[in-house]
Structure 1
């Protein structure tokens, strides 16, 4: 009787299969597929301002969902649970590796875009500097041409003023010569300056009666 009672009590004392931990359940639910959004909620294709996005590739259903079945033997249950944990760790390791690979690709793409943007900014700055240098050279050439034209204009004006002054002096000398010639013609006799006193005395002494 004691033996039968011991046999009846032993199954109740054996450890029952433990359910998976909450973190495992949450992770398995997170890895499971999600339902595709309702097509009626999407805006009409005619009203879209941008091209439609690429069709989303949903992940395959997780093998861990619904894979646990209770076992009669506790040892077999523990063995299956350990195998499930190992498979889960392996799957998570692979998922982390894929995530790291995707993040590295994103980092490389971002680095490439940043380098391209910096290169574009550098080229734009160089073009702007070249344009400034070319504009400065053009302004310098125009200023040089303007200064040369101004110098030529000043020289021309100075030459014109000199020619005008020369013509005026020549005209004055000509008028003076014409006046002297007129005086010489109007005088019956031209008396030199050294003979002026002698002729005056002669005129006083030798008077001619009327």
Structure 2
């Protein structure tokens, strides 16, 4: 029995591929025990609190291997060699099946993770689309408000300039009206003066002046000449 166990140990050392694959779950307790022992020895302070992770999924462990304790010693070396070779082949087949199952489980986990990633990406995409819709609606509202404000400002400016132009036009019309009235008054006054002068000349020309008074009238006209 001791010889067979020693042979198995030597065989596994030479062919490490025959050993079952080490998983993080089998290594984690070892590191955890080492870390706890080192912390207890160094008497380090308590580590900071971390976020609690969700509980692990229920895992169905495989049954104990039938190869453990299945070797029966024999006195015939040839038969022992044959049985040992058969045992190695069976163990390799068993490990191949276990690795295939492990690969299948990893593939299922990868598919599940991919589905979760796709669902998360879809949720992010929908959230981004909803956010973009809200932003577009807000932009449209702001554009409509800006357009209404600009239209109102334009109408206000148009009304202001129209009123300013009308007031300026009214002032110009008033000024022209005043100038026209002043010109008409001057023309009327000038016409009246001309009419009075013509009437005076007509009366003076129709008046008979005797010869003895002619010189006196000429002198009076020369002296009393008015400058226009």
Band of TM-score, shorter chain: 0.5 to 0.7
What is the distance in 2 between the residues matched to 1:31 and 1:137?
Answer: 61
**Structure 1 residues 94 and 170, CA, compared in 2 at 3 Å: closer, same or farther?**
same
Q: Which residue of 2 aligns with 1:22?
A: 12
Q: For the residues of structure 1 that align with 2:114 and 2:85, how far apart are their CA atoms?
A: 43
State the partner residue of 1:168.
171
CA drift of 1:108 comes to 0.1
Alignment partner of 1:50 is 2:51: yes
Q: Secondary structure at the match of 1:149?
A: helix
State the aligned residue count. Answer: 192
Corresponding residue for residue 159 of structure 1:
162
8 Å CA contact retained: 2:74, 2:80: yes
Tell me which of 142, 149, 172 is aligned to 2:152: 149
Are the counterparts in 1 of residues 12 and 18 from structure 2 also a CA contact under 8 Å? no
Q: Do residues 95 (structure 1) and 98 (structure 2) align?
A: yes
Q: CA deviation at 1:82?
A: 4.0
Partner of residue 80, structure 1: 83
Alpha-carbon distance change, 196 to 182 in structure 1, aligned in 2, over 3 angstroms: closer
- Partners of 1:28 and 1:65 within 8 A in 2: no
1:104 matches 2:92: no
Instruction: Indicate conservation of the 8 Å contact 1:71/1:77, yes or no.
Output: yes
In 1: Cα distance, 2:26 partner to 2:113 partner: 29
**Aligned partners of 2:122, 2:168: CA distance in 1, in Å?**
68
CA-CA distance at 1:131 after TM superposition: 4.1
Range with greater deviation from structure 2 (96-105 or 154-163): 154-163
Cα deviation, 1:34-77, whole Å, max 9, x if unaligned, reads: 69543981889995313376599776654434543431133542
> 1:97-131 CA deviation, whole Å, 9 max, x = no partner?
21121121122023213322432443344335434
Cα distance in structure 2, aligned partners of 1:54 and 1:72: 50
Q: Does 1:130 align with 2:133?
A: yes
Q: Which moved more, 1:140-149 or 1:115-124?
A: 115-124
CA distance in 2: counterparts of 1:26 and 1:130, whole angstroms: 60
Structure 2: 5+ residue stretches without partners: 40-44, 208-216, 221-228
Higher RCO (C-alpha 8 Å, min separation 6): 2
- TM-score by structure 2 length? 0.56
